[in-house]
Chains A and B, each alone.
Chain A
Amino acid sequence: MKSFQLVWHFFSEQIKWATWFYGILVILTIGMTIAANHWGFFDNLDTRNTTSTIFILIIGLLYSYWFLDHYFKLGVSRKKYFKAALFATAMLSIVLALVTTIIITLFETIVPNLGFAVPWTDLLTENGSLFVIQSFVDYSFYHFVYLLIGWFMGIGFYRFRWRFGLLFIILSFPFIGITEFLQNKAGVAHTMKFFTANPQIISIGPYLIFLIMIAILIVSNYRLTKDAPIRL
C-alpha cells in the first residue's frame, strides 16, 4: 500500500468518527439554543474549544490502541504508520478547525436572523473576517497539539501499561497547561513584554511556543512508536 493511500485511509476513518461527533454536537447546540431562548438555560455556552478538544484528545488516545494495532496487523510497518498518522493528524486538525469555524459562523449568522439569541457571549464573527481566519489558525494549532498529547498519553499506556502509563498523563500536564495558557494570548504577550518590546516577537510568541511543543511531542511519539511491541 502506498503512503498516500494509507494517509487517506487513516484520515477517512477519523473523519467518519468526526462526522458522528459533529453531527451530535450540532444537534445538541440547536437544542441548547432553543432551551436558552425559551427557558434561559445555557446562556453562555463555551462552544469554541472544549467540546472538540475532548473529542480530539480521545482520538489521540486511540492512535496506538486502535490505529497502530489495526494497521500493523494489516502489514503496515510502525514507521509507515507513524508518517501516515502524522499527516492524517495535520489534515484532521485543519479540517476540524475549518468545520468548527464554519459551524460557529453559521450559528452566529443564522440564529439571530431566525429571531433567536446566540447562547454565548464572546462572538467569533463580531470582530471581522480577519479574526475568523485567525481563530481558524488557532483552532488548527490547538487541535494538532491536543491530538499529539492524546497520542503521547496513549502510546505511553500502550507500551508501558498502567503504572508507567499514568506517568505519561503526568508528563502531559505541562503541555496541556501551556496550551490552555496560550489560548489567552494576552497573558503570553504580557509575559513576553517582560523580555522584549518588539511587537513582532510578541505576536508570534505563542505560535513559536506551539511549534516547539509540537516538535517535542512529535519526536517523543516517534521514539515511543518506532520499536513498540504490538500487543497480541
Chain B
Amino acid sequence: MSYAIEAKEVSVQYKGFTAIDQVSFQLQAGKIHGLLGRNGAGKTTLLSVLSAFRKADAGSLIIDGENPFENPRIMQDTVFIFDQQKDLEYTYDKVDEMLKEMAYFRPNFDEAYAFELVKKFKLPLNKKVNQLSKGKKSAFQAIIGLASRAPLTIFDEAYVGMDAPTREIFYKEILNDQEVYPRTIIFSTHLVSEADYLFDEVLMIHNGKVLLQDTNEQVISKGFSLTGSLEQIDAFSKDLDVLNSQVLGGTKSVTVYGELSEKQRNAANQAGIEIGVLSLHDLFVHLTKEEDE
C-alpha cells in the first residue's frame, strides 16, 4: 500500500518568516522521491506538514484523498524519521523492547524484518537506546522507518552519524524492501551524489519554493557539460544557459542547463567539444547557487 500526495499553494510561516511559499506539487504513490534543497530551503518544514507535525498556514494538502492533519488513518500510516538524537538521549528502554513496542503502534510493522535489520546494522539488542552511539541511534531509527512499512515513509537526513558502509547498507535496504513492499518514500538528503541512484523522482526546493520536479532521468537530462578549448567553448555556449564555468590553461569546461538539439550536438562533435553528462549533485549545486556565491 502506498499513498499519493497532492500539495496546492501550501505556505508555512514562522514569526513573519516564510519557510514554505505557495508550494504546489504532486508525488506519485509507490515511488522513491528525492527531496533536495539547501540548508534552510524549507525541506524539514515541508516534511513536518506532510507528516501532520504542524498545520500549513495556507493552501491544501491531500494524502491518499484526505487531509492528513489530525487524520488518524493517515497519521498511523505515516512514518517520519528525522534526527532524533536528543529525544533518544532520554530513551531508557532496550533496543529489542523498543522494536517490540513499534508493533503495537504501526499496523504494518514487521518485527522479524526489524530484527533481521538489527543484525545487518550490528545493533546490540540488549543495550539501552540512549547508550547507543550517534551512528547506531540513526541506524535504530532507520530500522524503525524501514520495518514499519508505512504507506508514506519519510526519511529526513536519517543517516546522521552513520559511517559510509552503514549508509550503503541503508540505501540498499531501501531499494530491496521497496521492490517487495512498494510504498511512497520521501528521502531528504544533502548527500546527493551518494543517494541519487535511489530516486525515481526528484523534487528540488529553494528558498521555500519548488525549483523543479521531474523523474530522475529527466532532471539529469536537463543539464550537461561541455569541455574544449577556451575559444571554442566561448563561441559555442554564448546562447546557452551556463550555470558554471572553469578554466584550466587553455581548456574551458562549462556546465549548461537545458537540452542540446541534434544540430547542436553534431556541431559540438565536429568542433571537438566533449559533451558530458551532468550528475544530479552538480545540477543541484548549480541550480541552488546564490548570486553572491
Contact = CB atoms under 8 A, between A and B. Distances in A.
B54 A77 contact: no
B104 A5 contact: yes
Contact of B105 (A1, A226, A232): A1
Contacts of A66: 90
B38 interface: no
A232 B44 CA distance: 9
A143 interface: no
Interface of A: 1, 5, 9, 66, 69, 72-80, 226-227, 229-230, 232
Tier of interface size on chain B: 20 to 34
B55 interface: yes
Contacts of A226: 70
B53 A230 contact: yes
A55 B101 CA distance: 26
B51 to A, nearest CB: 9
8 contacts: A76-B75, A77-B72, A78-B70, A79-B70, A79-B72, A226-B70, A227-B55, A230-B53
B213 interface: no
Contact of B71 (A5, A72, A77): A77
A165 B78 CA distance: 30
B1 to A, nearest CB: 15
B79 A229 contact: no
Contacts of B54: 229-230
B70 A75 contact: no
B263 to A, nearest CB: 51
Nearest to A6: B105
Contact of B106 (A74, A80, A227): A74
A75 B78 contact: yes
Given A72-B53, A76-B105, A77-B52, 12 more contacts: A74-B105, A75-B75, A75-B150, A76-B72, A76-B76, A77-B70, A79-B72, A227-B55, A229-B55, A230-B48, A232-B44, A232-B53
A77 B51 CA distance: 11
Most A Cβ at <10 Å: residue of B53, B77, B82:
B53
Contacts of B69: 227
Contact of B79 (A69, A75, A79, A80): A75
Interface string B66-87: 0001111001111110101001
A66 B92 CA distance: 13
A75 B104 contact: no
A79 B79 CA distance: 18
A230 B80 CA distance: 12
Contacts of B55: 227, 229
A229 B70 contact: no
A226 to B, nearest CB: 7
A89 B54 CA distance: 26
Contacts of B75: 75-77
Contacts of A78: 70
A88 B215 CA distance: 48
Contacts of A79: 70, 72
A159 to B, nearest CB: 11
Contacts of A5: 104
A229 B105 contact: no
Contacts of B106: 74-75
Contacts of A72: 53
